[in-house]
Amino acid sequence: MVAVFFVTSSDSGSLVIDSITAGGKLDAPVGQRILWALTEGAVAIALLLGGGLKAMQTVSVSTGILFLFVIFVMVYSLLKSFKRLKHFKRKEDRLEKKKRKISL
């Protein structure tokens, strides 16, 4: 069961990396996807041979922690844009009220 999980996760990861490197195309060349799958497998084998499961876990956690900072920046940017959108919406509402008063 673990092997099936690893193979399907690896295939999904290869598909995503291939799509990103192909500029968002979903029908990228098959050879490119095979290259990414082999590279991903080689890194996993090197980690397993170098330090075993502990090395794989360490790499996974350290990568996740780095990605956490990227997520924080994305959340900050999203909240900032929501605030800006709210400000523009209020400004539009005030202009609309002024237009109504002038037309009366």
21 or 3, greater pLDDT: 21
Q: Which residue, among 37, 59, 62, has the nearest Cα to 47 in the 3D structure?
A: 59
Give 45-78 pLDDT, tens digit per residue.
887 788 777 877 887 888 889 889 999 999 999 9
Q: What is the pLDDT of residues 14-23, one digit of tens each?
A: 888 888 888 8
Sign of CA dihedral 56, 59, 63, 22: negative
Q: Are 18 and 36 in contact (CB under 8 A)?
A: yes
Amino acid 1: pLDDT: 66
Interaxial angle between packed helices 2-21 and 30-103, expressed in degrees from 0 to 180 and rounded to the nearest 10 = 60
pTM assigned to the model: 0.49
Better-scored residue on pLDDT, 58 or 6 = 58
